[in-house]
Chain A
Amino acid sequence: MKLSHIAAAFCLAGMAASAAAADPHLGRNLAATCANCHGTNGKAVPGSGMDALAGMEKEKLLQKLKDFKSGVKPATIMHQISKGYTDEQMDLIAAYYAAQK
């Protein structure tokens, strides 16, 4: 039963931190929307020329996404895609990829 205590506590903590943490897989699901181009779990096909996101430091990736969104960082397409995600969603995406090894 200890596991369920932990699970429930994690659940509550998540909810307290943010309503977006309602589904424990939200970060995973959001990050999967990037995988078409950046590879499953951020592991891009080697040599394809796409940025591999797996294991990228969270703050670095988050800043990159925010710079695309604000227009500071020029892009072919990411300035348009990044505007479709909330800052909270970007945070979850960056945290998910940072945790991929």
Chain B
Amino acid sequence: MKNINRRDFLKLGAGAAAMAGLYGCTSGTRASGHVVVVGGGYGGATVAKYLRMWSEGQVQVTLVERNTDFVSCPISNLVIGGSKTLADITISYANLQHKWGVRVIRDEAVGIDAGARKVKLAQGGELSYDRLVLSPGIDFMWDQVPALKSAEAQQQILHAWKAGPQTVALRKQLEDMKDGGVYAITIPKAPYRCPPGPYERACLVANYFKTAKPRSKVLILDANEDVQSKKALFTKAWSDLYKDIIEYRPNSELKDVDVAGKAAVLEFDQVKADVLNVIPPQRAGQIAASTGLKLINNRWVDVNWLSMESTSTPGVHVLGDALFPAPTMPKSGHMANQHGKLAAAAILNLLAGQEPNPAPVLMNTCYSFVDSKNVIHVASVHQYDAATKTVQPVKGAGGVSAARNELEGKIAMAWAQNIWADMLT
């Protein structure tokens, strides 16, 4: 049965029929078709699983992912701090394939023909789609840090802002550093992936130094004028726990790097470090940024928040950190997972010839470790607002932890276990 029969429909009366049409309440139709998902991170893995689960296997899903396994950015600062290993944050795509029936292709999408509804792959293949989902994360704007344009330089001055080999390499640099050394981390101007992440990393490196290399220092060079997330809680942790270790310098925008000298080049001075960790300025991942989708500030993809569909390119939905965010919405893994569910619901409605849900809700929680056990959170809830055509934070909802605490340290790990399962198991 494709549609409610017209004669039956008319029996309901013109008013009811009009309302049913208005609200998209045509339960007689079912979604079918083929959805290609590019990128198997927090957004892409979620939309792939939820499309299969909610369509009861009726919608075919192909996931294009260049890595063999999923590696989580959240919790990766604990690997850098030394209390977790890369294996603890690495999960296979096997369940997505075998339990949920997602076709996983290890390849990279390099082009889109939105008119013909085709994706070009790096290894020469081509995939046709009814709907395309891009969840490409971020790419770095190396032209803003010219000395780091070469692959060789990027092996020496690490970002570790995409979890994987760089995470392990940064940990090794910290282990190899002599006691009395300086670890400097540079933070780009907002917006960037994971607003509290750099401050959490500073805490966890300082926590490692405190016991293993007590004469060492952590220097935070922030391009922003102030701490971007959980400010009161982070600054309290710094003064309570790391008073003589962490130094915070706002308004310190990185202009370039002296690779051989391991120095951050700022506007008026150079700051030398023993381990220099540069988080470069970011933009939407290449596949989203280079294929004609409408970008805001030439960096972030503009979407319709009822469907996560590009405002310029029909049939192409975009998720996660690549987006120009709605007001106060962070670039976080949790939020990307929520984008994935919103997109899955909207795509299934669209494939069944129905309007997307007119009242979507998105929620965010983010836990940051300030040492290996104590955690602080920030949470928010965002509801669609028809007047402004975007999702708006609900006033009076959300907030931060009253104080750092060990209970939320346990909850943070429970969060990780459950969100990883929600995406991949």
Contacts and interface: CB of A to CB of B under 8 A. Distances in A.
Nearest to A20: B359
B5 A1 contact: yes
Interface string B408-425: 101101110111011001
Contacts of B407: 76
B1 interface: yes
Interface of A is mostly: helix
B16 A36 contact: no
**What 9 A-B pairs are tightest by C-beta distance, nearest first?**
A84-B381, A84-B397, A83-B397, A22-B23, A7-B27, A11-B25, A84-B394, A80-B399, A48-B414
B396 interface: yes
A18 B53 CA distance: 27
Q: Interface centre among B54, B338, B363, B396, by most A CB within 10 Å? A: B363
A23 B24 contact: yes
A40 B344 CA distance: 14
A32 B362 CA distance: 10
B414 A37 contact: yes
A14 B419 CA distance: 32
A50 B418 contact: yes
A14 B396 CA distance: 30
A64 interface: no
A33 B363 contact: yes
B28 A4 contact: yes
7 contacts: A8-B28, A10-B27, A22-B24, A24-B27, A25-B348, A48-B417, A85-B381
B24 A45 contact: no
A46 B294 CA distance: 43
Interface residues of A, number: 43
Contact of A80 (B345, B362, B379, B411): B379
A82 B365 CA distance: 12
In this complex, the interface size class of chain B, counting residues with CB under 8 Å from chain A, is 35 or more
Contacts of B28: 3-4, 7-8
B52 to A, nearest CB: 12
A11 B27 contact: yes
B201 to A, nearest CB: 22
Contacts of A99: none
Contacts of B50: 32
A89 B28 CA distance: 24
Contacts of A14: 25
Interface in B337-389: 337-338, 341-342, 345, 348-349, 357-363, 365, 377, 379-383
A71 to B, nearest CB: 12
Contacts of A28: 54, 345
Given A8-B27, A15-B20, A33-B361, 10 more contacts: A4-B9, A20-B359, A26-B357, A36-B363, A40-B421, A49-B410, A50-B414, A76-B407, A80-B398, A89-B361
B240 interface: no
Contacts of A1: 5, 8
A5 interface: yes
A26 B365 contact: no
B1 A4 contact: yes
Q: Interface centre among A12, A37, A83, by most B CB within 10 Å? A: A37
A24 B412 CA distance: 33
Contacts of A26: 357, 359
A44 to B, nearest CB: 6
A12 B12 contact: yes
B358 A22 contact: yes
Contact of A7 (B4, B397, B414, B417): B4
Contacts of A22: 23-25, 358-359
